[in-house]
Amino acid sequence: MARRAVLFDIGGVLFGPGLQHFLGSCERDCALPRNFLRNVLLAGGSDSSYAKAMRGQITLSQLFSEMEEGCRQHASASGIILPSTFSVTRAFEEMAAKGTVNAPLLRAARVLRRNGFKTGVLTNNWVDDSSGRLFTAKLMTLLHRHFDLVIESCRLGVQKPDPEIYVYALAALRAKPQEVIFLDDIGENLKPAREMGMATILVRDTETVLKELEELSGVQACRSEEPLPTACDPSNVTHGYVPIRPGVQLHFVEMGHGPVICLCHGFPESWLSWRYQIPALDDAGFRVIALEMKGYGESTAPLDIEEYSQEQICKVRSCRMNVMWRLGIPQTVLVGHDWGGAVVWNMALFYPERVRAVASLNTPYRPADPTVDIVEKMKTYPTFDYQFYFQEPGIAEAELEKDIGRTLKVLIRSTRQEVGVGLRGGLFSSSRLFPIPAGAESQYLHPIPFSPSGPLNWYRNIRPNWRWALLAKDRKITMPALMVTAGKDVVLHPRMSKGMEEWIPQLRREHMEECGHWTQMERPAALNRILLEWLEGLPPETPLPKFSRL
């Protein structure tokens, strides 16, 4: 019978080291006999404080109290003097502070899930009402996002190795024992599962576990070069709408808590183009706000072309930053792609007080040059021909609206010959603009409401955008900045970013050679690593000034 489901334990498997490691560390630091804390924790067998906590009969803070008392009694009976600084909670606090998620195993779980396996977490866990409960909440949120189901003993009133919890897990998976693989770091917990017919893996070191998992599942879980990160589900994010003025609103989604990152998409996309970045940034401790730019999706598309000039898009009280203003967010990290990249550079120039740091994917920054005619200059770049095709209202719309589905496919994917969209003399002529690898269409295409007039109007403000940019031609972008270039982007080619350091002193560069225009969808795992490394290196947020209440 083919295996089609995998269950993972948390402590010592998906997260480690496990509790036993930190209990041992506490014993050594306090000069206590080996297994002193473990013996107190498990004293009483099925009636021990630990067992009661695992069944949800007492909370974690109650477990601490009972363990403290048990340690005092055990120490007194054994002639052991406890240090004055001794505290049971220390081991649990150190586990939260020093433990880490097993990234290779979590990655393997994602690969299995994408290969049709059901994945679940089966863990002995407590009801955490301690001062460190935010750690538990964050960890469980992460696991719920990455697994089909999460089963905690404290919610069921039964713990491993009681066979009843395995029966429950099988029913939740809708699987037979012979179809399930179970990973745990305690042999006693594996025995009942194995006797039922499950394949079991005793977790000791990650490399061995991955090899065993591959053999049992038939999926190359550990050798996947760059598995797709987990994408957010539109139904599991918070949707919001901010009025700009009567009859005009912006749609956004948000996820997470922490320092704010605002994501700005480009043409012809939506907030969903960031679907692989939103969960990763949330997992890293950020509050992520992904905008649906003016004219796209559920955001309003005003008729006036001037509404889509960069000056209007960037105005703090009229458009993009209106979302931040309405949400009471004074400053944010901005990340943009394509047209969104132009927006974030302009925000850094014209509203620097609102920008903590700025990052652009593919779109470079260059100051406006007053000595050249911007339209004539653009005409010298054949790859920009499509922008001139977009200029006359109604012409491109008519062609785009004939078949919206086909339009999006042509705009955001290539053919098997990696042919994208070309706009010299007609929208669907062949060229190598914005290629996407054949066979990977499901990564790039997503269901979005798309009406072309609003998105096309972004292109119809070439001269107004240039005139506005001239006001800042002598300014520098002074905050930390990131420029990510893509070697296969034939329109926004990396060479266009040459010399940016002259205007952006704190610029950091990253480059992905095997990547085209759709960076956040083509190479999401690599981009996530780049963004997170850059974000982790930013200076700490400046504490907000406290104003007296008026």
In a domain, 331, yes or no: yes
Question: 217, 248, 267 — which closes off a domain?
Answer: 217
In this structure, the answer to whether residues 164 and 42 fall within a common structural domain is: no
Catalytic position from the list 185, 338, 385, 489: 338
The b-or-e profile of 112-137 (16+ CB within 10 A means b, else e) is bbeeebbbbbbbbbbbbebeeeebbe
- The CATH number given to whatever domain includes residue 135 is 3.40.50.1000
In this structure, the answer to whether residues 329 and 407 fall within a common structural domain is: yes
Asked whether residue 403 carries a pLDDT value surpassing 80, the answer given is: no
- Pairing state between β 180-184 and 5-8: parallel
Q: CB of 46 within 8 A of CB of 35?
A: no
Amino acid 275: pLDDT: 94
In this structure, the answer to whether residues 470 and 346 fall within a common structural domain is: yes
In this structure, the answer to whether residues 25 and 85 fall within a common structural domain is: yes
In this structure, the answer to whether residues 342 and 393 fall within a common structural domain is: yes
Asked whether residue 316 carries a pLDDT value surpassing 80, the answer given is: no
In a domain, 550, yes or no: no
Domain region containing 34: 18-97
- The CATH number given to whatever domain includes residue 26 is 1.10.150.240
Q: What is the mean pLDDT of the chain?
A: 88
Catalytic position from the list 74, 251, 337, 517: 517
Q: Count up the domains in the chain and report the number.
A: 3
Between CA 150 and CA 148 the distance in angstroms is: 7
CA gyration radius, the chain: 28
Closest CA to 252 of 321, 298, 319: 298
For residue 46, count CB atoms less than 10 angstroms from its CB and return exposed for 0-12, middle for 13-18, buried for 19 or more: exposed
In this structure, the answer to whether residues 347 and 493 fall within a common structural domain is: yes
In this structure, the answer to whether residues 70 and 110 fall within a common structural domain is: no
Between 488 and 434, where is the model more confident? 488
For 358-391, write each residue's pLDDT tens digit.
999 999 999 999 999 999 999 988 888 889 999 9
Per-residue pLDDT band for 228 (boundaries 50, 70, 90) equals confident
In this structure, the answer to whether residues 107 and 33 fall within a common structural domain is: no
For 152-172, write each residue's pLDDT tens digit.
999 999 999 999 999 999 999
* 459 is annotated as an active-site residue: yes
Map residue 315 onto helix, strand or coil. Answer: coil
Helices 89-98 and 60-78 pack at an angle, to 10 degrees, of 130
Question: 217, 250, 272 — which closes off a domain?
Answer: 217
Q: Where are the beta strands (DSSP E) in 294-435?
A: 332-337, 355-361
CA angle 212, 524, 289 (to 5 degrees): 120
In this structure, the answer to whether residues 194 and 268 fall within a common structural domain is: no
In a domain, 451, yes or no: yes
Phi-psi region of 11 (alpha: psi -120 to 50; beta: other; left: phi over 0): beta
- Largest pairwise CA distance in the chain: 92
In a domain, 225, yes or no: no
Q: CB of 321 within 8 A of CB of 347?
A: yes
For 237-259, write each residue's pLDDT tens digit.
999 999 888 888 999 999 999 99
Phi, psi of 543, rounded to the nearest 5 degrees: -55, 140
In this structure, the answer to whether residues 205 and 259 fall within a common structural domain is: no
Question: 51, 82, 97 — which closes off a domain?
Answer: 97
Structure tokens given for 424: 């010299």
The sheet carrying 149-152 orders its strands as: 149-152, 118-123, 5-8, 180-184, 199-202
CA angle 340, 418, 384 (to 5 degrees): 45
Amino acid 426: pLDDT: 34
CA angle 61, 66, 68 (to 5 degrees): 95
For 40-81, write each residue's pLDDT tens digit.
999 999 999 999 999 999 999 999 999 999 999 999 999 999
Catalytic position from the list 166, 185, 459, 489: 459
* 338 is annotated as an active-site residue: yes
In this structure, the answer to whether residues 332 and 459 fall within a common structural domain is: yes
In a domain, 426, yes or no: no
Map residue 65 onto helix, strand or coil. Answer: helix
In this structure, the answer to whether residues 247 and 357 fall within a common structural domain is: yes
In a domain, 361, yes or no: yes
In a domain, 475, yes or no: yes
Between CA 272 and CA 198 the distance in angstroms is: 38
- The CATH number given to whatever domain includes residue 258 is 3.40.50.1820
Phi, psi of 171, rounded to the nearest 5 degrees: -65, -40
Asked whether residue 401 carries a pLDDT value surpassing 90, the answer given is: no
In a domain, 142, yes or no: yes
Between CA 220 and CA 226 the distance in angstroms is: 12
Per-residue pLDDT band for 442 (boundaries 50, 70, 90) equals very low
